Amino acid sequence: MAQDRKKELLDFLDRRAFDPVIRTKENNFSGKNREAAKHAKAATMKEKDRFHHYGSAEEVLLNFKRDLRSTAAKKVNKELESLHLPQLSDVQDEFYKLCERLKVAA
């Protein structure tokens, strides 16, 4: 049951935040935007991997909250916003509702 909750949270984040960025083709951008897309994609792949290694749904939630405030994430979020790609903050409300429904608290 506990792993099911973690899996459901990760599936949501993969589908709504991580995978759309990872699937982005840098060649669709030019100049500085291409470099920004490349950087954002690499950072998102690391972030996705990190989230998948957390041990519980509670850890996923806790680190989601941390990433919303993190200084490092702010730079990547600016890139994502300028490229019109999803950020964690874009899915924040839905993610918290999912946590409520799954009874995940951190």
CA distance 79 to 54: 25
At 98, is the pLDDT very low, low, confident or very high (cuts 50, 70, 90)? very high
**Does the model's pTM come out above 0.75?**
yes
Q: Which of 67, 60, 58 is nearest to 90 (CA)?
A: 67
Task: Please name the amino acid found at residue 5.
Answer: R
- Say yes or no to pLDDT of 15 above 70: yes
Q: Give the pLDDT score at 106.
A: 79
pLDDT tops 70 at residue 105: yes
Question: Cα separation of 46 and 40, whole Å?
Answer: 10
C-beta neighbour count of 63 within 10 angstroms: 16
DSSP class of residue 16 equals I
- The domain segmentation of the chain, as residue ranges, is 2-102
Structure confidence by residue, pLDDT tens digits, 28-39: 999 999 999 999
Identify the band that residue 60 occupies on the pLDDT scale cut at 50, 70 and 90: very high
**Distance linking the first and last C-alpha atoms of the chain:** 17
> What is the structure's pLDDT at 1?
66
Model confidence at 2, pLDDT cuts 50, 70, 90, reads confident
Give me the pLDDT at residue 66, please.
Answer: 95
Q: Do 17 and 91 form a contact (C-beta atoms < 8 A)?
A: yes
